[in-house]
Amino acid sequence: MRVFTNPQLPTKKSFVLFLLHKQPESSINVQGTPFCNQVEIIRALARTLPLDHDLYVKEHIVALPHRPFGFYAELKRIPGVCLITPFADTFDLMKHSTLVVTITGTAAFEATLLGRPAATIAPVYFENFIKFPRFNPFKTPLGQLIKETYGHNGELTDEQVNFFASFLAQSYSGEVGDAFWFPWSMDHNNISQVANGFLDIINIYSKRNKWATI
């Protein structure tokens, strides 16, 4: 744990927040291809990071036991990178960041709801909701995105509000989580809610495609 930093917010120096993904995982290794090498993504971000910013790289708590120490050592050798403990408050970091960057993570969705500009790198289902979808750090300088955040007031447009309303209307209650880190996800009522949600979706699609309903 000594490789990580827990910053005191607000910080004196501005920062961009990058959220690491656990790997292997479908959202990055399937949806995120060819952007699934997170070390190279971070190296590309740091290469065009303005001198008045740091790059905060926050570990995913579920990934903590699965990464070799060499992974963190490699990240810490990249100039401008500050490795953030997975136990830090992500929402608080988002609120104080200049920009939130993720490959395919829903953190970009959450950052937008908090009024912060966010970028995703690979295609995601909510890309119409965020400010910088399909950002390619190998082609577009990170400093360019930071300049485009100037004057960002965090207010949602009518299009964003309509998207979010549709998103909520098609959502189901329930927590799909790792049972080790989120033991409440194994609660009987939660499992029933999640199962009923999946069954409902399966039945909707089965009717559209004339499958047998469950």
Q: Mind listing the domains of the chain with CATH numbers?
A: 14-165 (3.40.50.2000), 172-214 (no CATH)
pLDDT averaged over the chain? 93
Per-residue pLDDT at 208 exceeds 90? no
Helix (H) or strand (E) holding 146: helix 142-148
Q: With contact defined as beta carbons under 8 Å apart, do 124 and 31 qualify?
A: yes
CA distances from 75 to 46, 78, 135, 165 (A): 10, 6, 21, 39
Mean pLDDT for 155-171 is: 94
**Residue 1: predicted pLDDT:** 66
Q: Which residues contact 91 (CB under 8 A, 6 or more apart)?
A: 110, 114
Per-residue pLDDT tens digits for 27-83:
899 988 889 999 999 999 999 999 999 999 999 998 988 899 999 999 999 999 999
Mean pLDDT for 7-19 is: 96
Q: Which residues contact 32 (CB under 8 A, 6 or more apart)?
A: 21, 103, 104, 121, 122
Query: Global pTM?
Result: 0.90
**Residue 53: predicted pLDDT:** 98
3-state class of 119 per DSSP? strand
**Residue 178: predicted pLDDT:** 79
pLDDT-based confidence at residue 214 (cuts at 50, 70, 90) = low
Portion of the chain with pLDDT greater than 70, in percent: 98
Per-residue pLDDT tens digits for 136-157:
999 999 999 999 999 899 999 9
Of the listed ranges 11-20, 101-110, 140-149, 176-185, the least confidently predicted one is 176-185
Mean pLDDT for 166-193 is: 90
Of the listed ranges 88-97, 113-122, 159-168, 203-212, the least confidently predicted one is 203-212
- Cis omega before residue 10 (within 30°)? yes
**Residue 213: predicted pLDDT:** 55
**Residue 206: predicted pLDDT:** 87
**Residue 198: predicted pLDDT:** 93
